[in-house]
Amino acid sequence: MSRTFFYNNKPIVIATSSICGPKESKGAIADFVECKLQSDTFGEKTFEKAEIRMLNTVITNCINNAGLKNGDVDAVLAGDLLDQIICSTFAVRGLNCGYLGVYTACASFVESLILGGALIDGKYMNRVVCGTSSHFSTAERQYRYPLELGCTRPPQSQWTVTGGGACLLCLEGFGPKLSCGTVGKIVDFGVTDTNNMGAAMAPSACDTIYTHFQDTNRSPEYYDLIITGDLGTLGTRLLKHLLLEKGIDISKQHVDCGEMVYNICEKEYQGGSGAGCSSLVFCSYIYNLMCQNKIKKVLLVATGALLSSLSCQQGESIPGVSHAVALEI
Amino acid sequence: MSRTFFYNNKPIVIATSSICGPKESKGAIADFVECKLQSDTFGEKTFEKAEIRMLNTVITNCINNAGLKNGDVDAVLAGDLLDQIICSTFAVRGLNCGYLGVYTACASFVESLILGGALIDGKYMNRVVCGTSSHFSTAERQYRYPLELGCTRPPQSQWTVTGGGACLLCLEGFGPKLSCGTVGKIVDFGVTDTNNMGAAMAPSACDTIYTHFQDTNRSPEYYDLIITGDLGTLGTRLLKHLLLEKGIDISKQHVDCGEMVYNICEKEYQGGSGAGCSSLVFCSYIYNLMCQNKIKKVLLVATGALLSSLSCQQGESIPGVSHAVALEI
């Protein structure tokens, strides 16, 4: 069994686009975000329609940023947190291209990069767009409580990022290149607290990062940054602890998108989460740093907590899955 | 833009496994199904846990049927109709391999074949399993009404198949080979009747089949069978009509898994549907016919209706997407 593979032709991320809500617009990476919304409804009647419009905006902008137009890409690979990933469905409807829906919760962005990368690398397609989104208000009312209840949030909770990102992969142009990917395995430590996503996801992040280093004979020093998706503050501590037990110290290279996306204050507790968290941070700040040659080698590890309100009601624990992709410039 | 691509090394379906519920066990293809359940709860406390066990059973059996064991495959690509595709999540948990969740509703099976095929064909992975499932009782109570209500079904409705299938792809062995795939585009004819999936999906099936013939310079005569996923009786009529308008007559080659899966009687009206419909029929009857050389060239077109209960409540129409894959022996 091998979960890691190398890309022979190294697909290039030639363009990205990012979008975020008003709260994220005050965050640490806001200066690098292409489209900052003043209202989290984006002029739509419902939060769901707002998220659809957000994802559609980054996909369309990303295509335009690459100097292309609707009809010039072969397929969009997209995912989100809503039931039946309807946000992706309706964001892609109207685009003249193929559609492949992906879902591994907040790990969906890197899943789309791994699969999209294979489609480009193997020359099955010429241009694909990979994108994900999330929205605090759509996720909160679907997974937890009606927004109107104004429930108190426990200190281990994270704040679902209102935002998203998309990037365009092809074999010609300038940008960070995908060098290899490690597909995540489902890891279940028996966490049942739906407010503690960090603890649910950290073991899978540990498994994927450890597997990646084993399969590639690399060590943390190989990378300038090892970026996890949305472990948050507590999850990050758990990940570092679990990896140290296996003899791997990532403390010098590690950052977490969930920790970066907000100016950490009490209200968000552990930081950001959501399928749009890693895509927002990668498609804005990280992509910018890489294109400017400030960082050259990145391991992006998106982390997903696999649950639905029904699986929790039926007494299931919350397994995690994390996919990793290495980008180099 | 090109949505069709050819596999260079032609991944082989070396093994399959199929499972179905009591109702499907009386259907036309039942003799070819590996595992026929006497109860649709499969000894579990909930229908959801039953569906999870069903999908886990076909994935595990498929690996065993190939003479392999847990840990011998690189990844499972799976999808289902439940929110956050939790059926796939919990079916794959415990397997020592990578996990890639896919979702385009009832087109998920062919999406998993197209993507899994690319991973094998490009030699990124050595062995992958592709599988999907559905369950009448989980789908009915998630998408429509509580089962206890005993609602009257309108004549345009279909019956969600309790069943599923999985197949193992690799580059060495005996079995039908994937020769090419056509990724579906989202097509929206504005259908809003959640009971009329056939009408929602037929336009996308037409688009994918037409695109496939254009991209490959093939005609219906090239194939022994053109198999749609779950259009049902009405959807099939619409598809044939739409294709005839474009000058393509598939009436001699076309069959529909939804029409095949039951002995058509009044109760199921239009026939079967669900993410497990095409995987059940392909992994049992069709695979058997191909391995016996009774049919040699097949175009499998899984058809998906992209909706959630929320998207319908918010007034959205139901777009369709259909993916096609060509198999030859």
Q: What is the pLDDT of residues A45-55, one digit of tens each?
A: 999 999 999 99
pLDDT bracket for residue A66 (50, 70, 90): very high
Q: Which residue, B73, B132, B80, B77, is CA-closest to B283?
A: B132
Cβ of B124 within 8 Å of Cβ of A5? The answer is: yes
User: In what helix (H) or strand (E) does residue A138 lie, and over which residues does it extend?
Assistant: helix A136-143
DSSP letter, residue A194: T
Domain boundaries, chain B: 11-170, 177-328
Q: Note the ipTM here.
A: 0.97
Nearest by CB to residue B308, choosing from A84, A101, A103, is A84
Question: What is the pLDDT at residue A263?
Answer: 78
pLDDT bracket for residue B269 (50, 70, 90): confident
Percent of chain A with pLDDT over 90: 94
pLDDT bracket for residue B234 (50, 70, 90): very high
Summarised one tens digit per residue, pLDDT across range B179-195 is: 999 999 999 999 999 99
Summarised one tens digit per residue, pLDDT across range B23-61 is: 999 999 999 999 999 999 999 999 999 999 999 999 999
Q: Helix crossing, A197-216 with A232-245: angle to 10°?
A: 40
B32 vs B288: CA distance, rounded Å: 7
pLDDT bracket for residue A155 (50, 70, 90): confident
Q: Could you tell me which residues come within 8 angstroms of residue A14 by beta carbon, excluding any fewer than 6 positions away? A: A66, A168, A169, A170, A172, A173, A174, A175
For the cut 60, the answer to whether the pLDDT of residue B326 exceeds it is yes
Specify the pTM. 0.98
In DSSP notation, B233-250 reads HHHHHHHHHHHHHTT---
In DSSP notation, B25-93 reads GGSTTGGG-SEE-SSTTTT-SSHHHHHHHHHHHHHHHHHHHTT--TTSSSEEEEE-SSGGGHHHHHHHT
pLDDT bracket for residue A303 (50, 70, 90): very high
Range scoring the smallest mean pLDDT among A5-14, B149-158, B192-201: B149-158
Q: Which residue of B has its CA nearest to A321?
A: B99
Q: Could you tell me which residues come within 8 angstroms of residue A64 by beta carbon, excluding any fewer than 6 positions away? A: none
CATH code 3.40.50.10490 for A11-170: no
Question: How many Cα atoms are found within 13 Å in the side-chain-facing hemisphere of B92?
Answer: 35
Q: Do A248 and A319 form a contact (C-beta atoms < 8 A)?
A: no
Show residues of chain B in contact with A183, CB under 8 Å. Answer: 74-75, 98-100
A-to-B residue pairs, Cβ atoms closer than 8 angstroms: 184
Q: Which residue of A has its CA nearest to B103?
A: A101
For the cut 70, the answer to whether the pLDDT of residue A222 exceeds it is yes
Q: The tokens of B215 are what?
A: 């991209």
Show residues of chain A in contact with B319, CB under 8 Å. Answer: 89-90, 93
Show residues of chain B in contact with A2, CB under 8 Å. Answer: 74, 125-126
Instruction: Give chain A's end-to-end CA distance (angstroms, integer).
Output: 29
Interval B306-323 mean pLDDT: 96
pLDDT bracket for residue B268 (50, 70, 90): low
Show residues of chain A in contact with B86, CB under 8 Å. Answer: 306-308, 310-311, 316
For the cut 90, the answer to whether the pLDDT of residue B155 exceeds it is no
Q: How far is A251 from chain B (nearest CA, A)?
A: 26
B58 vs B16: CA distance, rounded Å: 8
Show residues of chain B in contact with A310, CB under 8 Å. Answer: 48, 82-83, 86, 142
Quickly list H helices, chain B: 47-65, 86-92, 108-121, 136-139, 197-216, 232-245, 257-260, 275-281, 287-291, 309-313
User: In what helix (H) or strand (E) does residue B226 lie, and over which residues does it extend?
Assistant: strand B225-228
Q: How far is B28 from chain A (nearest CA, A)?
A: 30
Range scoring the smallest mean pLDDT among B65-69, B155-159, B302-306, B319-323: B155-159
Domains A11-170 and A177-328 share a fold: yes
Cβ of B100 within 8 Å of Cβ of A96? The answer is: no
Question: What is the pLDDT at residue A314?
Answer: 96
Interval A61-71 mean pLDDT: 97
A291 vs A32: CA distance, rounded Å: 12
pLDDT bracket for residue A175 (50, 70, 90): very high
pLDDT bracket for residue B265 (50, 70, 90): low
Question: What is the pLDDT at residue B270?
Answer: 87
Range scoring the smallest mean pLDDT among A321-325, B152-156, B321-325: B152-156
Q: Which of A3, A53, A76, A84 to mutate to test the interface with B (most CBs of B within 10 A)?
A: A84
Interval B91-115 mean pLDDT: 98
Cβ of B1 within 8 Å of Cβ of A96? The answer is: yes
Which amino acid belongs to residue B181? G
B231 vs B253: CA distance, rounded Å: 15
Question: What is the pLDDT at residue A293?
Answer: 97
For the cut 70, the answer to whether the pLDDT of residue A6 exceeds it is yes
Cβ of A99 within 8 Å of Cβ of B104? The answer is: yes
Summarised one tens digit per residue, pLDDT across range A244-301 is: 999 999 999 999 999 999 976 656 678 999 999 999 999 999 999 999 999 999 999 9
Chain-wide mean pLDDT for chain B?
96
Instruction: Report the CATH fold assignment for B177-328.
Output: Peroxisomal Thiolase; Chain A, domain 1 (3.40.47)
B299 vs B209: CA distance, rounded Å: 9
Percent of chain B with pLDDT over 70: 98
Q: Which of B8, B53, B87, B100 to mutate to test the interface with A (most CBs of A within 10 A)?
A: B100
Q: Which residue of A has its CA nearest to B324?
A: A98
Cβ of A103 within 8 Å of Cβ of B96? The answer is: no
B76 vs B74: CA distance, rounded Å: 7
Q: Tokens 């894959």 appear where?
A: B325
Question: What is the pLDDT at residue B113?
Answer: 98
Range scoring the smallest mean pLDDT among A214-223, B13-22, B149-158, B319-328: B149-158
